[in-house]
Amino acid sequence: MKFEPTQLTSSEVELQAEVREFLATELPPGSYQRALGMGAGKDVEFSKKLAARGWVGMALPKQYGGHDRTAVDRFIVVEELLSHGAPIGHHWVADRQTGSIINRFGTEAQRERFLPPICRAELAFSIGMSEPDSGSDLASVSTRATQTDGGWLLNGTKVWTSGAHENDWFVVLCRTAPLEDGNKHQGLSQLLVDLSSPGLEINGIPFLDGSPGFNEVVMTDVFVPDELVLGELGMGWAQNTSELAYERGGPDRWLSTFGIIEEFLRLNEGTTLGNAAHDLLGSAVSRYWGLRNMSLTVARMIDRGEAPAVESSMVKEMGTRFEQDVLQKVVNLVDLEPTPESAELFERLVAAAILTGPSFTIRGGTTEILRTVVSKGLGRKATT
């Protein structure tokens, strides 16, 4: 594992300034519901405006509607959006990972069909990995696709499928060949599945704060044509693992609660802060800066064509603990019982973080699993 220090180039700093200017015009303070990182809401029009600026599907090829930009350019845009608490929910998953895996593993027809609408922020994707009995041990998924005339019949249940109730498609990890020799990693495939397919039922699961977002997706003989098998049959595990690298190493894994610190400072502008607040700010800013540089390094590695699965896992493990620690320290510092309905933005953000914070170290892979990925990665390298 290596995290080579890196800095933004002058053109990258220019991009950062452009995004800040765009956000100051489009979403001035008070004009929108500022929210916590990727938990921010969905605003289709806002996503389309971003797309019109060329900031959705940035790193995808121009020939499919993308912009031939880099993972670092995307990092810069995403960091600004998340710091601003902007409503990125509509295009989030497609922009972060689905577009990239379709570009990498998909057929020419799949690229032509899916990438242009993703880049225009017209197509929203969900992630169909977890199942009622398969979360951390993802290779044990029991959703099964069996071959039929011209395609596959999909049967099984996915769970915790964020956004399935309002998104258009999801990528389903499923078993397309029976288990042989107990090797769970073989015989898995990824299918592109229309969330409005006949036989597919979406049941909402309210989140801890009562909001919709989570879903159970039950599939009974859902027909998926051959042309919607993503990548190579049986290579689902390897593809899925590379998808997780996009999912784990970005600013969304360390920025969820930083807005709370900013609001705390705004609220206390002009007052003298005590030692406990100074300790909090000092440690939060220094950890933030370290994580940011690690995460930026992951983006540079992606741009060099590397597959930083271990480094991404490290960023997520450290980043999500940081998000929770920041919250805990703020809660210890201020004497209040915040409610989601409070008139004060700071209190609303703290309340939302208390209710959603426990999920930070679960979603996208739990802390224990990430530590396992990192230690196995280090072990492998140590023996070569």
Ligand X SMILES: Cc1cc2nc3c(=O)[nH]c(=O)nc-3n(C[C@H](O)[C@H](O)[C@H](O)COP(=O)(O)OP(=O)(O)OC[C@H]3O[C@@H](n4cnc5c(N)ncnc54)[C@H](O)[C@@H]3O)c2cc1C
Q: Which residues bind ligand X (CB under 6 A)?
A: 126-130, 135-136, 160-162, 359, 362-363, 365-366, 368-369
Using alpha carbons, select from 367, 81, 134 the residue that is nearest to residue 250.
Answer: 81
Give the C-alpha separation, 138 to 118, whole Å: 26
Number of Cβ atoms within 10 Å of the Cβ of 114: 25
Using alpha carbons, select from 243, 249, 378, 259 the residue that is nearest to residue 319.
Answer: 249
How many H helices and E strands in the chain?
12, 8
Q: Which is nearer to ligand X, 15 or 327 (CB)?
A: 327
Smallest gap from residue 370 Cβ to ligand X (A): 9
Smallest gap from residue 22 Cβ to ligand X (A): 28
Q: Which is nearer to ligand X, 235 or 362 (CB)?
A: 362
Smallest gap from residue 174 Cβ to ligand X (A): 12
Give the C-alpha separation, 342 to 339, whole Å: 5
Q: Which is nearer to ligand X, 221 or 368 (CB)?
A: 368
Check if the beta carbon of residue 62 is closer than 8 Å to that of residue 54. no
Check if the beta carbon of residue 145 is closer than 8 Å to that of residue 176. yes
Q: Which amino acid is at 347?
A: E
Q: Which is nearer to ligand X, 23 or 145 (CB)?
A: 145
Smallest gap from residue 110 Cβ to ligand X (A): 21
Q: Which single residue brings its beta carbon nearest to ligand X?
A: 135
252: its two tokens:
């969304």
25-46 b/e with 16+ CB inside 10 Å = b? eebeeeebebbbbbbbbbbeeb
Q: Which is nearer to ligand X, 40 or 127 (CB)?
A: 127
226: Cβ–Cβ under 8 A, 6 or more apart, which residues?
150, 151, 152
Q: Which is nearer to ligand X, 214 or 264 (CB)?
A: 214
Smallest gap from residue 133 Cβ to ligand X (A): 8
Smallest gap from residue 55 Cβ to ligand X (A): 23
